[in-house]
Amino acid sequence: MKVVRLPGIHHDGNVVLVSGSFGHLLINAGTSWYQSLQVERILGQLGDHPLDRILLTSRRFPVSGGALHISQSFDDAPVHIHPDGQAALDTGDFFTTWANRYDSDMPRTPTQALADNDVFALGEGEVQAVALPGHTPDEIGFHIPHLSMLVVGTVLPRADRPARWDLPGGSLMALIASYKAMKAMKLASIVPLQGPAIRGKGHVLEVLDRHLTFLEEAAENDGKPPQSWQRPAPTALWHTPRTPWPLEEQEQV
């Protein structure tokens, strides 16, 4: 099995192509901003082989915005998402997908339901869907067991950037449970929403522990977010600074 990370461009999430003797699937699609470039990057990896399906970690625009265009570019490859995210994509809802926060429209994208524990066999290995709610209720991670690898979305924005629960659809306690579930998987690598892959069991555990400690401390503080976190603009989030990792000396309010 071959796994290729196509690094996110600008505000795109990482796009991961997984190939095996039984087929080829794509995990996440990026925004619609660079969707044509994404198709070229995917073609460069696939050659003459077809793309069988697209799996989305959530409805959020950085991973879902380019799904329709990529699907249509590969003979209408089916797009799979958690049932809680289907309506938003099917109707092109630019509020709950957050396309409006990126000053963009959300393409109406036909989808198929994806359930926790769904398995996609690719020959030399398989990809398993794992529910990881917290930032959104429809968050799914994709586990490749024989590589001890997990591909995620907004539940882990970057190794050095914590997930937010203080926005519509977020749940701090669900986020904590998802991090405990990821720790229990004893992973060798994680591909986060953005940035390089987190490699090595020790490094993975260190990153997960840091995030989990931060989340549990927030829960002890009645779930209040750090004072250092800006209030997101209702539109064009890309005009605002990225959320910093909260500094230890900063008090939570």
Q: Would you list the domain boundaries of the chain?
A: 2-222
Encoding tokens for residue 164?
Answer: 């937010």
- The topology (CATH level 3) of 2-222 is Metallo-beta-lactamase; Chain A (3.60.15)
Beta-carbon contacts of 197 under 8 Å, excluding residues fewer than 6 positions away, are 5, 189, 190, 191
Q: Report the distance separating Cα 229 and Cα 133, nearest Å.
A: 21
Q: How many CB atoms within 10 Å of residue 186?
A: 10
pLDDT digits (tens, 9 = 90+) for 202-250: 999 999 999 999 999 999 999 988 877 766 655 444 444 466 677 544 4
- What pLDDT sits at residue 242? 60
The chain-wide mean pLDDT, for the chain, equals 90
What's the distance, Cα to Cα, between the start and end of the chain in Å? 47
Strands (E), the chain: 2-6, 15-20, 23-27, 53-55, 79-81, 112-113, 119-121, 126-131, 140-144, 149-151, 189-191, 198-199
pLDDT digits (tens, 9 = 90+) for 143-163: 999 999 999 999 999 998 899
Question: What is the pLDDT averaged over residues 7-36?
Answer: 94
Give the closest residue to 116 by CA, choosing from 131, 102, 136, 98. Answer: 131
Beta-carbon contacts of 41 under 8 Å, excluding residues fewer than 6 positions away, are 6, 15
pLDDT digits (tens, 9 = 90+) for 171-193: 999 999 999 999 999 999 999 99
Encoding tokens for residue 215?
Answer: 């989340």
Instruction: Please state the pTM of the whole predicted model.
Output: 0.92
Q: Which residue has the higher pLDDT, 11 or 29?
A: 29
